[in-house]
Amino acid sequence: MKAHKETLGHWPLQIISAAFFVMIFIANASTLILLNILLLWHIHVGIEEILTDHVHHEVTRNLIFIFLRIFFLIIIKYAFVFFVF
Protein backbone atom coordinates (compact mmCIF):
# COMPACT_ATOMS: atom_id res chain seq x y z
CA MET A 1 0.00 0.00 0.00
CA LYS A 2 1.40 3.36 -1.04
CA ALA A 3 1.70 5.92 1.75
CA HIS A 4 0.45 9.45 1.17
CA LYS A 5 3.23 11.95 0.65
CA GLU A 6 1.09 14.53 2.44
CA THR A 7 -0.03 12.48 5.42
CA LEU A 8 -0.08 15.51 7.69
CA GLY A 9 1.10 18.09 5.17
CA HIS A 10 -2.30 19.60 4.44
CA TRP A 11 -3.30 20.26 8.05
CA PRO A 12 -0.70 22.96 8.82
CA LEU A 13 -1.60 24.72 5.57
CA GLN A 14 -5.29 24.70 6.41
CA ILE A 15 -4.64 25.93 9.94
CA ILE A 16 -2.49 28.79 8.62
CA SER A 17 -5.10 29.78 6.03
CA ALA A 18 -7.83 29.64 8.69
CA ALA A 19 -5.73 31.91 10.92
CA PHE A 20 -5.47 34.42 8.06
CA PHE A 21 -9.28 34.49 7.85
CA VAL A 22 -9.40 35.62 11.46
CA MET A 23 -6.66 38.26 11.02
CA ILE A 24 -8.03 39.87 7.84
CA PHE A 25 -11.26 41.68 8.61
CA ILE A 26 -10.50 45.20 7.40
CA ALA A 27 -13.04 45.96 4.68
CA ASN A 28 -11.13 47.49 1.80
CA ALA A 29 -10.81 46.09 -1.71
CA SER A 30 -7.32 44.62 -1.45
CA THR A 31 -7.98 42.72 1.76
CA LEU A 32 -11.29 41.41 0.43
CA ILE A 33 -9.51 40.11 -2.67
CA LEU A 34 -6.85 38.52 -0.49
CA LEU A 35 -9.54 37.02 1.73
CA ASN A 36 -11.31 35.49 -1.28
CA ILE A 37 -8.08 34.04 -2.63
CA LEU A 38 -7.23 32.56 0.77
CA LEU A 39 -10.75 31.20 1.19
CA LEU A 40 -10.71 29.49 -2.20
CA TRP A 41 -7.20 28.16 -1.56
CA HIS A 42 -8.36 26.78 1.80
CA ILE A 43 -11.34 25.09 0.10
CA HIS A 44 -9.06 23.77 -2.66
CA VAL A 45 -6.66 22.13 -0.17
CA GLY A 46 -9.56 20.49 1.66
CA ILE A 47 -11.22 19.20 -1.51
CA GLU A 48 -7.88 17.90 -2.79
CA GLU A 49 -7.40 15.90 0.40
CA ILE A 50 -10.91 14.44 0.20
CA LEU A 51 -10.40 13.48 -3.45
CA THR A 52 -7.03 11.93 -2.65
CA ASP A 53 -8.72 9.71 -0.09
CA HIS A 54 -11.78 8.72 -2.13
CA VAL A 55 -10.87 8.80 -5.85
CA HIS A 56 -8.48 5.91 -6.36
CA HIS A 57 -7.85 6.11 -10.10
CA GLU A 58 -4.92 8.50 -10.57
CA VAL A 59 -5.88 9.75 -14.05
CA THR A 60 -9.41 10.61 -12.95
CA ARG A 61 -8.13 12.31 -9.80
CA ASN A 62 -5.59 14.41 -11.75
CA LEU A 63 -8.25 15.40 -14.29
CA ILE A 64 -10.57 16.50 -11.47
CA PHE A 65 -7.68 18.50 -9.92
CA ILE A 66 -7.07 20.28 -13.23
CA PHE A 67 -10.76 21.18 -13.65
CA LEU A 68 -10.96 22.25 -10.00
CA ARG A 69 -7.98 24.60 -10.41
CA ILE A 70 -9.49 26.09 -13.57
CA PHE A 71 -12.81 26.57 -11.76
CA PHE A 72 -11.12 28.34 -8.83
CA LEU A 73 -9.13 30.59 -11.18
CA ILE A 74 -12.40 31.64 -12.84
CA ILE A 75 -14.00 32.31 -9.44
CA ILE A 76 -10.97 34.36 -8.33
CA LYS A 77 -11.16 36.38 -11.55
CA TYR A 78 -14.85 37.17 -11.00
CA ALA A 79 -14.25 38.04 -7.35
CA PHE A 80 -11.46 40.39 -8.39
CA VAL A 81 -13.64 42.07 -11.02
CA PHE A 82 -16.55 42.35 -8.58
CA PHE A 83 -14.50 43.97 -5.78
CA VAL A 84 -12.32 46.24 -7.90
CA PHE A 85 -14.83 47.63 -10.39
**85: pLDDT confidence band, cut at 50, 70 and 90?**
low
pTM over 0.85: no
Pick the CATH number of 2-84 from 3.60.21, 1.20.1300, 1.10.3470, 3.10.560: 1.20.1300
User: Where are the chain's structural domains?
Assistant: 2-84
**67: pLDDT confidence band, cut at 50, 70 and 90?**
very high
For the ranges 7-21, 35-49, 59-73, the one whose mean pLDDT is highest: 59-73
Q: Which residue has the higher pLDDT, 7 or 44?
A: 44
Residue 30: burial class (beta carbons within 10 Å; 0-12, 13-18, 19+) = exposed
3-state helix/strand/coil string of 30-85: HHHHHHHHHHHHHHHHHHHHHHHHHCCCHHHHHHHHHHHHHHHHHHHHHHHHHHHC
| 5 pLDDT higher than 60 | no
**41: pLDDT confidence band, cut at 50, 70 and 90?**
confident
Q: In whole angstroms, what is the distance from residue 36 CA to residue 75 CA?
A: 9
